[in-house]
Structure formats: C-alpha cells, structure tokens
Amino acid sequence: MSYILIVSPQNDLLEIKYIEKLQSPLFAGGCENLTIECNQNLSNLFESNIANYIQLKKTDYNFKQSSFDQEFLLSIYNNINQGAQLISKIKMFIKDKQYLLQKSIEQQANHACTALFAVYIKFYRRINLAKLELTRTDNIRPHKKLLSLFEYATHVYILFAKTKGQGGNCDELYDQIKTNTLFLLISIKESNLIPIIEYEIDEEINKIKLKRQYSQKIIKKYNFRLLRNMFKACTRFKKLMLTNKKINEEKQKNENILRRTIDNYIFNEKNFQSNELIQCISRQYERSIIRLIIYQFIYKFIEKIFNLKDKNQIFIFLRIYLPYLKKLNIEWSYLENISTTNIQLKENITKNYYLIIKKIFSYLLQLTNIDQIILIQNMFYLLNFSYELIDIYYLYNNKFFEILNNTFLNSNIDIKFICYNWFRLFILKFCENFQQQESNSILNEIQELIFHNIILNELK
C-alpha cells in the first residue's frame, strides 16, 4: 500500500498535454491559494487513521499568498494607489527612451508595461524591495534592481510599435498581455529560482573614492616583508572579487532564464486554457501531499518496528519493505511528477526521505556482516538516483560519508564492493554538480571530505 501511494497516480492525459509548462521554471512554485479544503481527497485523507497516527494538521499544509502582497501587486498592475506612486518615482530616474508610438496605442502600451512590471516584481521576488522604496523620499534614487525590472518592462513599447507598423491587431495584443499577466499575478506562485535580496544602498551613493598617492621615500630592506604580505593580501582579494563576479554571473543567468520564460508565456500564449493548467498543478499538489504523509508514516512505523525485541523479525521486515520505498525505475526520484509543488513541500519530502534512510543506517551499524549485506544492497538502492544539489547537501548534513568511510569501507569484501559501486556513481554526479553550481563553503567542505579525507586516505 505504501508503494502504491508513493509512486502513483501517474501523470494523466491532461498533465502529459502540459508537460513542458509543468517543467518550466515559471510554474515551479506551484499555484497560489491551494488549501486542503479545496480538495476532497485530501480532506478525507486528513481525517483518516494515518493522519491521526502521525498527528497531521491541515494548517501546516495550506499555502496562501499574503492578501497585502496581492493587493500591492494589483495596484502596480492597474497603476493606482501605491503602484502608481512607485511607478511615478521610478520614471523620474529611468533613462528617457523615445519610443515612436501612435497616440491610439500609447495608453494600451503604458498599461501593458505596468502589468508586465508587476509580474517581474513578483517572480523576481522584489515585493519587499518595492514596498520599502515607497518609504523613501522621492529625491533618493530607487534601487538598481527595481530600475532594471522597469527597463525590462518598457521593451513592450517596441512590441506595440512593431505590431502597429506591420498592420497587426494591437487590441488583441493588449488583451492577451493583460489576461496572461493577471493569471500569473493571481494564480501562480513564484519559485525560489531568484534569491530574495535585502535593501542595499546603491553603489553610486556614499561611494568611497580612492586617490592614488605616490611616495619618493626609499624602501628599506625590512619593509620588503610588509610589501610581500600586502601583495599576498591583494592577491587573495582579487580571487575573492573573481569569485563574487562568478556568483553574480550565475545570478544574472538565472534572471535571464526567468525573464525569457515569462516573456515567452505572456507574449506567445493565445487563448490559453488556464483552468486546465490549474487542474494539473492541483493534481501534483495532491500527489506531493500524499507522498509526504506516507513518508512521515513510514518513518514513525519503522521507529515502532525497531522497538521490537525479536531482531530476526525486524530483519525480515526490512528486507521485504525497503525496496518498496521508491519506484523500481532506477531514474525515479522522490520528487518525481511534482515539479510544480511549492518549495516548502519539496523540502519537507526531501527531509523525510533522508530521515528514513538515516534511521535505517543507524540500525544497520548494529548488525553482523552476514545480515548487513542484503539490507545494505536495499539501502543503496534507495540512494540510487540522479543526484541534485539538495541530495548532496542532505547526505553531507546527515554525516553519511563519515558512516560510509568509518564503518562500511572497513567491512568484508562484499560490503566494500557494494559501497564502492555506489560511491563511484556519486563522485561522478558530485563533480557534475560542482562544475555547474557556483562555488560555496558547503560544496568546498564536501569536496575536501571526499577527495582528501576519504579517497586519498584509501590510496595511502
């Protein structure tokens, strides 16, 4: 039963129809205002014996957008109240670009621009930044991130001018932009692709200006040590600057990906059946809630099993039960078919999956070598999938590599061979992630642990 609830139901025909959109970063945050009460199947599940057993609360799984945030975004969308105040201030500091627009389409282009600006603010997670801007006086330059978003939005003027010049229907274009932007503002939740930034004073303000100075003083021998140390410090500072530059380039890459995705949806989707997409997202939300509940149930159930006095009975249970915690397909992941689930649910599913593995590993350490072999095979089977960055972090935080190195690699040849085969695959996946991701302290610590503490020690 656990296996059936974890891996099914599979994508239905409607999800297959919208598979590309469901895997798009634009819809990775899921749907706004999804609640348990809106889904009869989930409501029944929360009243079941399983829910009582693991002490589920509906309030922990209801995700609603703040009414204040939505009201603020709609004020920008409609260019009224706080939204109009923000736009008016930004226009004072934006570069004056001349767009050749006929009077008949100028108002439509202006309204389309503000609607697009509201979508950018939401999906680039700049709501707090925009709200804070309203508390500052009009003579202070707005944050550069807000200015750049508005400049992105002004590109819609070019589209209107081009459409009008080619004899296109600007009324149809206007309705399409307003409809699609409103759908994104009200119905779709932003993802965590772009990090939230705290307010920073722009670099141009209060910028310290350094003036180069020259000295005719003769350098003595004992000052060479000071100069050498200063040179080393400058070299380290240069490396730090290059690292920060790489991080900023990666962020810019994500921003460009998101912008292209937003623009592609808003400008190219005509007569889009938004209700069908909402059904698909709701279906994945239901699937993710069920999967999370089952993993929580399995964890508590295994805790109860480990309290049995009959060790042989525990061993038999684990041997039969472990292979059914994931799908038989080796490429299957615990986040399979729930790409549009919000980030909180995905993190909870990941956390509970690895809690189960950690719990079982703690028990394996108490077994003899003969009993270990079969269960270790099952254990590494559960860990055998295409690793994402979050998987690497969880394995590291749960000290799995230390357990592997200190315990299983010192066991008999059969266990060593099983561990080696998995470890070889993991190293490959880790190197792929390390090349693709920006450098950070955690990844560097994992690299140090794997290559210096484990691999090099084995080679000595």
- pLDDT > 90: percent of the chain: 12
Half-sphere exposure for 204 (CA within 13 Å, toward CB): 5
Q: What angle do CA 417, 423, 426 make, to 5 degrees?
A: 150
pLDDT digits (tens, 9 = 90+) for 406-419: 766 666 777 777 77
The SS3 of residue 249 is helix
Q: Give the chain's count of helices (H) and strands (E).
A: 22, 0
Q: Which residue has tokens 């400058």?
A: 234
| Cβ proximity of 138 and 205 under 8 Å | no
The Cα-based distances of 106 to 14, 89, 103, 218 in angstroms read: 39, 20, 5, 68
The Cα-based distances of 203 to 141, 209, 379 in angstroms read: 11, 11, 52
Q: Distance between CA atoms of 430 and 73, rounded to whole angstroms?
A: 40
If you average pLDDT over residues 248-258, what whole number do you get? Answer: 69
pLDDT digits (tens, 9 = 90+) for 260-291: 999 999 998 888 888 888 888 888 888 888 88
Mean pLDDT of the chain, nearest integer: 78
Angle at which helices 343-364 and 274-306 cross, to 10°: 20
How much is the pLDDT for 113? Answer: 92
How much is the pLDDT for 379? Answer: 78
Looking at the predicted structure, is the pLDDT value of residue 1 above 70? no
pLDDT digits (tens, 9 = 90+) for 419-445: 778 888 788 878 877 766 655 677 788
Q: Which of 405, 308, 310, 293 is nearest to 352 (CA)?
A: 293
| Cβ proximity of 170 and 105 under 8 Å | yes
How much is the pLDDT for 210? Answer: 43
| Cβ proximity of 26 and 192 under 8 Å | no
pLDDT digits (tens, 9 = 90+) for 25-61: 888 888 887 666 666 777 777 777 777 777 776 666 6
Half-sphere exposure for 412 (CA within 13 Å, toward CB): 8
- DSSP H or E stretch at residue 294: helix 274-306
- Any residues with CB less than 8 A from the CB of 331 and at least 6 apart, and which? 385, 386
If you average pLDDT over residues 74-93, what whole number do you get? Answer: 90
pLDDT digits (tens, 9 = 90+) for 106-157: 899 999 999 999 999 999 999 988 998 888 888 888 888 888 999 999 899 9
| Cβ proximity of 176 and 270 under 8 Å | yes
